[in-house]
Amino acid sequence: MSEAQGTVPTVLHVSEVDGIPAVWADVPGPLTAGLLIRMGYADEALVHRGHSHMLEHLALFGLGRPGNHSNGHVDATSTLLHASGSPEEVGSFLEQVARQLVDPPPARLEDAKGVLRAEHSRRGPHPLSELAVWRWGMRDFGLETAEELGLAAMTADSVRAWSRRFVTRQNAALWLTGPPPAGLRLALPDGDRVPAPDPWRTTLPFLPAVIRLNSPVIAWHGLVPRDWNGPPLAMVVNNRLVDELRTSRAAAYSPQGGYQPLNGDVAALLAFSDAVDGKEAEVVDRVLGVVGELADPATMPREGEVATYRTEVLRALDAAGMSNRPPSAGWDLLHGRRLWTLDEQRDALDRISPESLRLAAAAAAGTALAQAPASLPLPNGWVQAPDSVSPRVFGTGFGHKGTDARLLVGREGVTFVNGPTLLTVRFTEVAALGAWDDGGRVLIGEDGIRLAVEPRLWWRGSKAVAAIAWRSSGPRRWALCPPLPGALQ
């Protein structure tokens, strides 16, 4: 339980409801509550992508008009079902949504597939999606914007299997803006705690690195431990970029710094910006250099910058500020983080210093992956990430009908070669294999490399496709949407 000092009342309570950790605060107005499950898209494989999203939709079916007083959301590591209303209405919602998480309505499955496809088609391109795929590949946190390929072969049984794996008391948390409704029962079964994926894992052989894209967004992405230095460091990054790129140089419209928790222990530190025409090089220099600048003793964070952050946080540590904490506190509770008392938060704020932020910046800089326009030279100190992390395979060669490119199909995988570009997908590292109606194949590697083999574009292309089909049809069979493996059958 967190308590404020002096006359500020206790505003954050931690308890249990049916064996599920719960956190709540007394907030005026209608009761709002959210049931969280430690289940998200980062738990999926590419060929199963969409199971968490489907379970969220099925759990909400029949529980009111979507978006009015109830809704759901899936992120990398959690699924949230939430509602607002009277205690009786919210209690009824939570009990029904818990039942449908455990036993999703099978008759709704095919209709829900169409809804999910329509929802995906409306999403615009994510400005940092390529960066995430390069860092994590086509798995874990790299799946955020991946197409939900699992919808095609998804069945009621596969959705129930997904529920059995994740929907348990040990894998859930509850947050509320008032006391739990009297007699609330959430009939989740007991099960195993499923840890969130590890964000430190990367497909790249080295960091820091930069990728070259034809994208208007210039970005820097690093990882930091979830301690008290990450949020103020992100604020300093944001303020320096805005002051310099927007105010002083008029080189960008919306430079930003950001901080995004990934699991209970790790967060992403972000810096990104658009650029005014003709000033792209200036923006690249600042966005890619700002965190390194903060790690340098000569240009490290100033005491005034730390004091600004401390003042803003202290202003929020009152009854009103704390009363808005249940959603974030519930997310932390779900991910195994201890909730801090107000006294502990104030003590931690006092320990933040320019030197602690400098050390945090130096550590983050060592994990950096940046993206910059392919047309501009790399800033000093940056090395370009390799196009493919797998070495070429040796096998039968096939020439392209319109270019000098060559395709090599061997026992171990497929390599595309065109001048200095060399891309390889190994059969043991395939995230998905797609088949087109004309016999073509598309291989998607776990590192995110995508090779499309259209037989009409290659000399003896039908033989190339036949070799790929034969090699990929052995003991480890791949398709875009195969049955769920192992325990999920």
DSSP characters over 35-47: EEES--GGGS-GG
pLDDT tens-place string over residues 333-356: 999 998 888 888 889 999 999 999
Percent with pLDDT over 70 in the chain:
92
pLDDT surpassing 50 at residue 170 = yes
pLDDT surpassing 90 at residue 121 = no
pLDDT tens-place string over residues 421-459: 999 999 989 998 887 777 788 899 999 999 989 999 999
Average pLDDT over residues 70-98: 95
pLDDT surpassing 60 at residue 476 = no
pLDDT of 223 reads 98
Q: Are 218 and 373 in contact (CB under 8 A)?
A: yes
Q: Where are the beta strands (DSSP E) in 9-69?
A: 13-17, 20-24, 31-37
Q: Which residue has the tokens 């009990």?
A: 95
Q: 17 forms bridges with which residues in the sheet?
A: 20
Tell me the residue type at 488. L
pLDDT surpassing 70 at residue 279 = yes
Distance CA 128, CA 463 (A): 38
pLDDT surpassing 80 at residue 489 = no
Phi, psi of 482 (to 5 degrees): -75, 170
Q: 417 forms bridges with which residues in the sheet?
A: 406, 422
Position 124 confidence tier, pLDDT thresholds 50, 70, 90:
confident
Mean pLDDT of the chain: 90
pLDDT surpassing 90 at residue 28 = no
Distance CA 379, CA 473 (A): 45
C-alpha distances in angstroms, 455 versus 67, 116, 411, 433?
A: 47, 32, 19, 15
Task: Identify the three-state secondary structure at position 321.
Answer: helix
pTM score of the predicted model = 0.90
Percent with pLDDT over 90 in the chain:
74
Q: Two tokens at 302? A: 């100033």
Q: Two tokens at 56? A: 């969220």
Average pLDDT over residues 139-157: 92
The DSSP call for residue 475 is S
Q: Where are the beta strands (DSSP E) in 25-88?
A: 31-37, 70-74, 79-85
Distance CA 444, CA 429 (A): 9
pLDDT surpassing 70 at residue 485 = no
Distance CA 354, CA 345 (A): 18
Q: Two tokens at 81? A: 């079902």
Distance CA 59, CA 159 (A): 11
Distance CA 268, CA 218 (A): 16
Least trusted range by pLDDT, from 195-204, 209-218, 360-369, 477-486: 477-486
Q: Is the dihedral of CA 196, 201, 207, 211 positive or negative?
A: negative
pLDDT surpassing 90 at residue 236 = yes
pLDDT surpassing 70 at residue 172 = yes
Position 317 confidence tier, pLDDT thresholds 50, 70, 90:
confident
